[in-house]
Amino acid sequence: MDERVPRDFETLRTTILERRHSLPKRIAQIAAYALDNPDDIAFGTAASIAASAGVQPSTLIRFAQQLGFDGFTSLQLVFRERLRERNSSYDERLAALRAKAEEGAGHRAIFDGFVAAASTSLNDISGRLNEDHFEDAIALLAKAETIYVLAKRRSYPVASYIAYALGKLKIRNQLIESAAGLNAEMISFASPRDAVIAISFSPYAPAAIEEARVISEQGVPIVAITDSSFSPLAQFAKVWFEVAEADFAGFRSLSATMALAMALTVAVGEKRRDEGRKRKA
């Protein structure tokens, strides 16, 4: 292999863009395809890539050779390396933020720590959400007459947001608060035609668990957001989501829970609208 073969993706990219106009038609075609679909180059076979790009496999090899590689395989390595490095760079960035926060230089570090925790949590839930459970929860909530929202202490802000959003979407809902001490009565109105969104994380607020138990015994289906399958909430729930929030300075993030709550709420709103339309038609 030549001495000045592009070893990293960025150099390769630049090289391709420079030579773009002096390349033969088919080679230019595969060059454009490569820059547009780098992932395909990284994972595909010569044949599959050639087919997607509308050229012959041999053209792909000629392209690689023009750039100084000794074949398609060596070119592909650069595209693969890119995926490896890019991937770690994000994690590294987060780790840096977190490290800066942990070495504890002043108040800025506190802020960085919370941003890092929130990002981590979002990142995590994004890959973890079980789509089937999500659909089940939406279906369950969409057909409820009234949606009860149950959460105490740290989770209460999420509940209050859900209540706000449901209100904006004109979906009947009832936040189970403790202010007036009338929770027991409020709960007794719930029927199996209603549904509950319950949120609680370890250490589980006893009141939340107790209310969830009572309401589930009345036959009201519960959608739970909690932190593990050992959660007492999980056993009362028809559907439950596991959300692992990162923490900083002993305060856990709420970002993932919040995102899930927003998505649930809006999805329920959308499903109701769709079904309302169907019923009319």
Partner DNA sequence: GGCAATATGAAATAATAATTCCAATCCATA
Partner DNA sequence: TATGGATTGGAATTATTATTTCATATTGCC
Q: Which residues would be at the binding site for a copy of itself (CB under 8 A)? A: 9-10, 39, 43, 80, 82-90, 92-93, 97, 107-108, 110-115, 117-119, 122-123, 125-129, 131, 134-135, 138, 153-154, 156-158, 160-161, 164-165, 179, 248-249, 251, 253-255, 258-260, 262-263, 266-267, 270-271
Q: Within 10 A of 148 (CB to CB), how many other CB atoms are there?
A: 24
3-state helix, strand, coil in the chain (%, to 5): 65, 10, 25
**220 Cβ partners below 8 Å, 6+ apart?**
148, 190, 191, 192, 194, 195, 196
Minimum CB distance to DNA smaller for 28 or for 110: 28
Minimum CB distance to a copy of itself smaller for 80 or for 238: 80
Q: What is the largest CA-CA distance in the chain?
A: 80
56 binds, among a copy of itself, DNA, none (CB under 5 to 8 A by kind): DNA
Minimum CB distance to DNA smaller for 29 or for 235: 29
Residues 27, 255: Cα–Cα separation, whole Å: 47
Q: With beta carbons less than 8 A apart as the criterion, state whether 260 and 225 touch.
A: yes
Minimum CB distance to DNA smaller for 47 or for 95: 47
Cβ at position 219, least distance to a copy of itself in Å: 26
Sheet holding 195-199, edge to edge: 173-176, 147-151, 195-199, 222-226, 239-242
Q: With beta carbons less than 8 A apart as the criterion, state whether 183 and 215 touch.
A: no
153 binds, among DNA, a copy of itself, none (CB under 5 to 8 A by kind): a copy of itself
Cβ at position 52, least distance to DNA in Å: 12
273 binds, among a copy of itself, DNA, none (CB under 5 to 8 A by kind): none
Place of tokens 């002993």: 250
55 binds, among DNA, a copy of itself, none (CB under 5 to 8 A by kind): DNA
Q: Within 10 A of 4 (CB to CB), how many other CB atoms are there?
A: 9
Minimum CB distance to a copy of itself smaller for 214 or for 266: 266
Cβ at position 250, least distance to a copy of itself in Å: 8
Residues 26, 28: Cα–Cα separation, whole Å: 5
Residues 145, 196: Cα–Cα separation, whole Å: 11
Minimum CB distance to a copy of itself smaller for 37 or for 56: 37
34 binds, among DNA, a copy of itself, none (CB under 5 to 8 A by kind): none
Distance between start and end Cα atoms, the chain: 67
Minimum CB distance to a copy of itself smaller for 10 or for 275: 10
Contact positions vs DNA (CB under 7 A): 24-27, 45-47, 55-59, 61-62, 64, 70-74, 76
Provide the token pair at 71.
């074949």
Compute the C-alpha angle 220/221/227, nearest 5°: 125
112 binds, among a copy of itself, DNA, none (CB under 5 to 8 A by kind): a copy of itself
Cβ at position 129, least distance to a copy of itself in Å: 6
59 binds, among DNA, a copy of itself, none (CB under 5 to 8 A by kind): DNA
User: Strand 251-252 vs strand 247-248: parallel, antiparallel, or unpaired?
Assistant: antiparallel
